[in-house]
Amino acid sequence: MSGLYMLLGTLVTLGVLVTIHEYGHFWVARRCGVKVLRFSIGFGTPLIRWHDRKGTEFVIALIPLGGYVKMLDERETEVPEAQRSQSFNSKTVGQRIAIVAAGPVANFALAFFLFWCLAMLGSQQVKPVIGEVVAESIAAQAGLHSGQEILAVDGQAVSGWSDVNLQFIQRIGESGNLYVEAQSEGSSVPSSYTLVLDKWLHGAEEPNPIAALGIQPWRPQAAAIVAQLDPEGPAQYAGLQLNDKIMAIDGQAVADWQAVVDYVQAHPDSTVQLSIERDGQRQNLQVLLTAQGEGSQKRGYLGMGVAGGEWPQNMLREVRFGPLDAVVAGAQRTWTMSALTLASLKKMLFGELSVKNLSGPITIAKVAGASAESGLRSFLNFMAYLSISLGVLNLLPIPVLDGGHLLFYLVEWVRGRPLSERVQGYGMQIGIALVVCVMLLAVFNDLARL
């Protein structure tokens, strides 16, 4: 079933995002008087094709990894005299800029619409209450302690741990002060705390901002009873079975699942002895833990999960907006995610964020499937984030992307004449090389994660 979700999730996601992007180009081109020859979703052999009354051919092609809008253009083919006024190259610089920019703008508009819908649908969030603070950690040095609820980060109000994590992510690789506002249980007066960062998580491959600050979110106790097994994980190979109850690890009694997690993560690439109870009988199993991450981020991996404990109602909050307030919430989320995507690219370029965080089509497919399987809200949220990524990436000033064409047209607008075809040709070659290199790196990262 997961494979089916991945297939359908990927096809729907790419189909919608590519269609919206290309429709942006198409819609503005039509209104600028440009004749559109073909509107294609996908590449390669056409599966379905039809024509509209204006002669545009619409195509759904075999390979669903993109699309294009082909316009009448004298630089590509000979254009009859009667149709030259409908060619793309005959339009003013302003019109050409509008046509090229319309694709990424359409992606941002889609993200805003999805975030607006999500804001009205609402969500149940876990209050960002601190469970534990690791001794000598950045959070501990700042004075944060267990039982406090985080209210704001860097002046931005937060309602759940996802908001907190988003604010922390924006500071990865940076030095300076991180400001947190928190309130202790039973107090009505919030306190401010200053967390000092020094090249925080600089170059980290799989950053976990909340844990890196030394904060452990409050969670209800969960019994250490096996409910999930990674089929390729150490627990499966060692012989653990569903419904096994872990009683002790290396002779240390465990009270709940968190005690197992803490011990396992602290012992990567180690052999541990689990004392388990199965069908009322006690037995011991040796497990060779594997590792995830590298360097200071390296942690042990067991490959099993448990059923979560039941959350008390006082630790949950429902966040929902009316239609008008949702407009503001949707616009803020679109802006925040766009700025975060651009900032992350800059940090990768300057080495502040590891390029191993760059994902390609395999990861996109896996996340699309997982989000589709999780439900409508999760899937719409994923589509909105990916739409923003597509919009930002297409606006980068790299020839062959929309941003590269915009750069050429802006130069033409300033100079009063276009760059020579030779210069544009060199630019296109450099752009293609850059895009291919980035795509290969992204696919390599995907394969490494597998």
pLDDT of 346-399, one tens digit each?
998 888 888 888 888 888 888 888 888 888 999 999 999 999 999 999 999 998
> Catalytic residues, which ones?
22
Superfamily name with CATH number, domain 226-307? PDZ domain (2.30.42.10)
In this predicted structure, what is the pLDDT of residue 83? 87
Q: How far apart are CA 264 and CA 165, in angstroms?
A: 24
Q: How far apart are CA 72 and CA 135, in angstroms?
A: 66
- In a 3-state reduction of DSSP, which class is residue 69? strand
Q: Tell me whether domains 130-219 and 226-307 share a fold.
A: yes
Q: Provide the pLDDT confidence category of residue 296 given band limits of 50, 70 and 90.
A: low
Residue bearing the bigger pLDDT, 400 or 151? 151
The predicted model gives 262-272 an average pLDDT of 90
Q: Provide the pLDDT confidence category of residue 337 given band limits of 50, 70 and 90.
A: very high
Residue-averaged pLDDT of the chain: 90
Residue 143: which region, alpha, beta or left (left: phi > 0; alpha: psi -120 to 50)? left
Decide if 306 contacts 225 (C-beta within 8 A).
yes
In this predicted structure, what is the pLDDT of residue 297? 66
pLDDT of 222-258, one tens digit each?
888 888 888 888 999 889 899 989 999 999 998 888 8
In this predicted structure, what is the pLDDT of residue 19? 95
Residue bearing the bigger pLDDT, 56 or 224? 56
> Six-digit token pair at 377?
């809200």
**Residue 76 backbone dihedrals phi, psi, to 5 degrees:** -110, -30
Query: To 5 degrees, how large is the angle CA 389–CA 395–CA 400?
Result: 110
Q: What is the CATH number of domain 130-219?
A: 2.30.42.10
pTM score, whole prediction? 0.84
Judged by average pLDDT, the poorest of 178-192, 293-307, 428-442 is 293-307
In sequence order, the β-bridge partners of residue 274 are: 249, 285
pLDDT of 136-149, one tens digit each?
999 999 999 999 99
Helix axes 93-121, 402-415, angle to 10 degrees: 140
Q: Provide the pLDDT confidence category of residue 48 given band limits of 50, 70 and 90.
A: very high
Instruction: Give residue limits of the domains in the chain.
Output: 1-32+91-122+322-404+413-431, 130-219, 226-307
Judged by average pLDDT, the poorest of 33-37, 54-58, 262-266 is 262-266
The predicted model gives 59-72 an average pLDDT of 90
3-state SS of 311-370 is CCHHHEEEECCCHHHHHHHHHHHHHHHHHHHHHHHHHHHCCCCCHHHCCCHHHHHHHHHH
In this predicted structure, what is the pLDDT of residue 35? 95
In this predicted structure, what is the pLDDT of residue 52? 93
Decide if 371 contacts 8 (C-beta within 8 A).
no
Q: Provide the pLDDT confidence category of residue 295 given band limits of 50, 70 and 90.
A: low
The predicted model gives 93-106 an average pLDDT of 96
Q: How far apart are CA 271 and CA 120, in angstroms?
A: 49
In this predicted structure, what is the pLDDT of residue 102? 97
